[in-house]
Structure 1
Amino acid sequence: MNKPRTLIVGAGIAGLALAKALLDRGVPVDVVERRPEGGGTAGAGLYLPANAVRALRHLGVDGSVAGVARPVERQRLQDHRGRPLTEFAVSRIWGEVGPCLAVTRGELHGALLAAVGDDVIRRHVEVGTVYEDGTVTFTDGDRRRYDLVVGADGIDSTVRRSLFGGPAPRFLGQLCWRFVAQGDAAAGLTDWTARLGGGGRTFLTVRLGGDRVYCYADVNSADPAAPAGDWRGLFADFGGPVPGLLDQGAGAHFAALRESEHTVWVRGRVVLVGDAAHAFSPSMAQGGAMALEDAEVLADVLDAEADVPAALAAFQARRAGRVGWVVGQNHRRDRARNLPVPLRDLTLRLLGERMFRSNHAPLLARP
């Protein structure tokens, strides 16, 4: 394999997964992270669909992740009162691809960090300017040249802004809150359950290891700012376990959901991966999966092609269609949830499993 001296900007999931893949191939890697601690957003959980778990297996970290994760065997959609709309085993969606898992973002990040080792990461280091030839200036005045520079620095990527330009990620018209609940409020909750209300409101629970459950709530909004008052009042009419879970949601992490409109991820010796390249709606739960697949594919194309710009062009060509499919299916699913409530509920009762299988069909193949 060609062994290009590589800089990875960002020590999140995408950056660490790529570092693991490259280090395993003997590629010299520097990872820089502007934060003192990289990784997980507080209160953030992850549903890892089978293609994400397959990528972890390819990276050799599936065992350590499975040790802290909980299997997800079924998906359920209900109305806001808990009345069933559709339910199916995830194996009917993913077949032989593998299991689906639930884990906190911090646990996944910790498993990747343990696999890479903290000694390859330089923290409190921020990139200033990136050039097509692999030259990078840092905000402390340092300047270095690399054979390959990878922007894995998230939706507000400095690498993308410095070199690629283009439109900033656009607001999707959705606000979300996420937190982890535990104790009696989580008792009896299993697997993955989405409860759908009117006005584009969703309250999702995903069972984690121990007595914990990841809670994710979102609502349509024309304004990206957090609404005045206690957000939990937006879900006051939801039944079942939701009121008890909301009691633990006072400190939930808030975000206005955004989507990348930029579709060029390669310039010379520089490439974007993960959210820096393609942030999108969480409707398909494919953000982490696409980041992990990026790491797998980028390492593979560098294995196959000694010329870095040619390898990066192959990466863009190989990933564009798959990522584009996910973006399109996200939009389709978001439109479906915004149908008039009686039509939405009838559609899910009649076609729910079929829709999920169609959404994911191309993702059963290796990336």
Structure 2
Amino acid sequence: MNASRVLVVGAGIAGLALARALCQRGIIAEVVERATDWQPSGTGLYLPANAVRALHELGIGPAATAHANPIGRQRLLNHRGRLLANIDLDRIWDGVGGCVAIQRAALHESLRQATAEVPVRLGTSVTDLEIGGAPQVTFSDGSTGSYDLVVGADGVHSTIRNLALGGPPATYVGQASWRFVADGFSDITDWTVMLGRGRTFLTVSLGQGVVYCYADLNTNDPATAASEDWRRAFAGFAAPVPLLLDQATEAYFAPIEEMVAPAWTARRVVLIGDAAHASSPNMAQGAAMALEDALVLAEMLTADQPVEQALAGYVQRREARVTWVQEQTHRRDRTRNLPTTLRNLTLRLAAERIFRSNYGPLRDLP
């Protein structure tokens, strides 16, 4: 490979996973992160089996899953707590591996420890980027650098995507969301979603009575939703939602946004993770796609081929897979927004078949 000077912009899951994958192949990238410190996130993640498989390929599977809680079932209920479907995840992911839930901070810490030798400059962002045979980068501290490759791993509102490709901006998909972690619920041991009309409430056990909670509702006005007491929208949901909401005063708010970038590369600049293809979280594939991106890009970059050819190969291998995930998120949204009676009947009769179809292609290696 003729790209030994690699700049990774963003030290989240995608950026550190790529730094780790490159380290495994003898390349030490430089990483910059606009955050000024390593602020631990209080929210959680549900990682389907393809994400866990990717962690093992990165060599951090045991370290990460030591802090994770196995998830063997996904239960779908109506908002009153009546069971619609009970999905056995071993049947969905047979031959791939198990699914887990983990605190986001714990996963991030595992990635940080695995990339301890990688130089990371906190409080540093990219302010200018000149694309060419050796991209020229200007940083927020006034320093500059010349690189063989610049990787935008800087999330759905990517600066690198804007500088290199001129956008586009992320698209709001019509849902506002809140995330928080609650404690003291040892009776919650799995993944359970309650479906109301235009709103959902998800609980995922992180182990030892700690629960990751995710709530969303359909709205054309996310700013108003953010300013009001969102918990009132879930007041009619069955137990344990009312008790969980008592611990939601500091919930993290975010509008759900999607990114369908017309291109992921520009000469020797490439996008990975949410910077390239953010999607609704209803497939729980955000982290999985970022981890897979990192593995595939590192593999292509360390093959005996020019950088531009490696980037083209990366896009070719990844584009259909992430497009599939985005299409499935749209289908899931359409299903959950069916008239209540029809939605409930559909899930009672066909939930496992729908799940098998959703995740089928993701059982294969990326």
Settle same-fold status: TM greater than 0.5.
Answer: yes
Equivalent position of 1:136 in the other structure: 137
Please say if 1:43 is aligned against 2:33: no
Deviations 1:84-105 (A, max 9, x none): 0000211111111011010011
Equivalent position of 1:217 in the other structure: 215
What is the 5 A alignment of 1:346-365?
A: 346-365=345-364
TM (norm. structure 1) is: 0.96
Shift of 1:118: 6.6
SS for the counterpart of 2:178 is strand
User: Residues 62 and 39 (structure 1 numbering): CA distance in 2 closer, same or farther, change over 3 Å?
Assistant: farther
Please give the alpha-carbon distance, in whole angstroms, between the structure 1 residues aligned to 2:329 and 2:162: 25
Equivalent position of 1:190 in the other structure: 189
Deviations 1:49-85 (A, max 9, x none): 0000011011000000111000001110000011000
Percent identity between the two aligned chains? 55
Equivalent position of 1:79 in the other structure: 78
Please give the alpha-carbon distance, in whole angstroms, between the structure 1 residues aligned to 2:294 and 2:70: 23
How many aligned positions are there?
363
Comparing 342-351 and 152-161, the one that deviates more? 152-161
Equivalent position of 2:60 in the other structure: 61
> 1:139 is aligned with what amino acid?
S
Equivalent position of 1:94 in the other structure: 93
Q: Which runs of 4+ in 1 moved over 3 A?
A: none
Native 8 Å contact 2:3 2:307 kept in 1: no
Shift of 1:187: 2.6
SS for the counterpart of 1:322 is helix
TM (norm. structure 2) is: 0.97
Please give the alpha-carbon distance, in whole angstroms, between the structure 1 residues aligned to 2:324 and 2:64: 27
Equivalent position of 2:231 in the other structure: 232
Native 8 Å contact 1:175 1:226 kept in 2: no
Deviations 1:11-48 (A, max 9, x none): 000000000110121113100111122475x3321000
Deviations 1:101-146 (A, max 9, x none): 1001111000000110175111111101122222111122222110
Please say if 1:336 is aligned against 2:335: yes
Native 8 Å contact 1:10 1:32 kept in 2: yes
Please give the alpha-carbon distance, in whole angstroms, between the structure 1 residues aligned to 2:266 and 2:310: 12
Equivalent position of 2:243 in the other structure: 244
Equivalent position of 2:206 in the other structure: 208
Please say if 1:317 is aligned against 2:300: no
Native 8 Å contact 2:188 2:209 kept in 1: no
Equivalent position of 2:12 in the other structure: 12
Aligned CA-pair RMSD: 1.3
Please give the alpha-carbon distance, in whole angstroms, between the structure 1 residues aligned to 2:125 and 2:117: 17
SS for the counterpart of 1:208 is strand
> 2:211 is aligned with what amino acid?
V
Equivalent position of 2:146 in the other structure: 145
Shift of 1:164: 0.8
User: Residues 166 and 119 (structure 1 numbering): CA distance in 2 closer, same or farther, change over 3 Å?
Assistant: closer
Shift of 1:4: 2.2
Comparing 97-106 and 129-138, the one that deviates more? 129-138
Equivalent position of 1:173 in the other structure: 174
Please give the alpha-carbon distance, in whole angstroms, between the structure 2 residues aligned to 1:229 and 1:30: 42
Native 8 Å contact 1:76 1:84 kept in 2: yes
Please give the alpha-carbon distance, in whole angstroms, between the structure 2 residues aligned to 1:346 and 1:28: 53
Native 8 Å contact 2:169 2:259 kept in 1: yes
